[in-house]
Structure 1
Amino acid sequence: MNINDVQWNEQAREKILSDADKALQDAVREAAGKHSGGDRNEVYKFLFEKLQPQFIDFEPGPDLSKYADAIANGEFAAD
């Protein structure tokens, strides 16, 4: 067996991705409730601080910026 053969099975991969999506959705929902129409940088900071402790080696990408912009522009309705 080669180390490259060691990986999560498809069911585990789907669960990991689903959990990550839920964490992102929860953070965006909370940010929209607290910061809708607010400062984009504050929204980004809020999202980063909510998500960073939940992931190993968290590196925010363009998605975080996209959602911060949408929240700051009032494009999300809080549930």
Structure 2
Amino acid sequence: MELQDIRWNDQAREKILLDADRALQEAVREAASTLSGSDKDQVYKFLFEKLKDQFVDFQPGPDLTKYAEAVAGGELGSAASA
């Protein structure tokens, strides 16, 4: 067996991704409910701080900017503040 052959099975991979999506959704929901009217840089910083310690080797990409812009622009549906 080679080291590159060691990996999570498909069920575990799916669970990891679902957990990561939920963490992102919760952070965006919280940002939308607490940072209404803030600029995208403030929202981005909030999201970054909220998520960075939840993941190993966290490297935010364009997704974090996209959601920061959506929060700052009031583009999230009413379910985000529920």
Name the counterpart of 2:57.
57
CA distance in 1, matches of 2:17, 2:37: 29
Secondary structure at the aligned position of 1:38 is classed as coil
Q: Does residue 48 in structure 1 map to residue 48 in structure 2?
A: yes
Name the counterpart of 2:12.
12
Report the alpha carbon displacement of residue 26 of structure 1 after superposing the two structures with TM. Answer: 0.3
Identity, % of aligned pairs? 65
**TM-score for both structures, normalised by structure 1:** 0.96
Taking only aligned residues, the RMSD between alpha carbons, in angstroms, comes to 0.8
Q: How does 1:30-45 map to 2 (within 5 A)?
A: 30-45=30-45
CA distance in 1, matches of 2:45, 2:5: 38
Output one character per residue of 1:3-40: Cα deviation in whole Å (capped at 9) or x when no partner: 11100000000000000000000000000001122111
Report the count of equivalent residues: 79
Unaligned segments of structure 1, at least 5 residues: none
CA distance in 1, matches of 2:23, 2:53: 11
Secondary structure at the aligned position of 2:41 is classed as helix
Unaligned segments of structure 2, at least 5 residues: none
CA distance in 1, matches of 2:70, 2:36: 9
**TM-score for both structures, normalised by structure 2:** 0.92
CA distance in 1, matches of 2:51, 2:13: 19
Which deviates further from its counterpart, 31-40 or 64-73? 31-40
Stretches (4+) displaced over 4 A: none
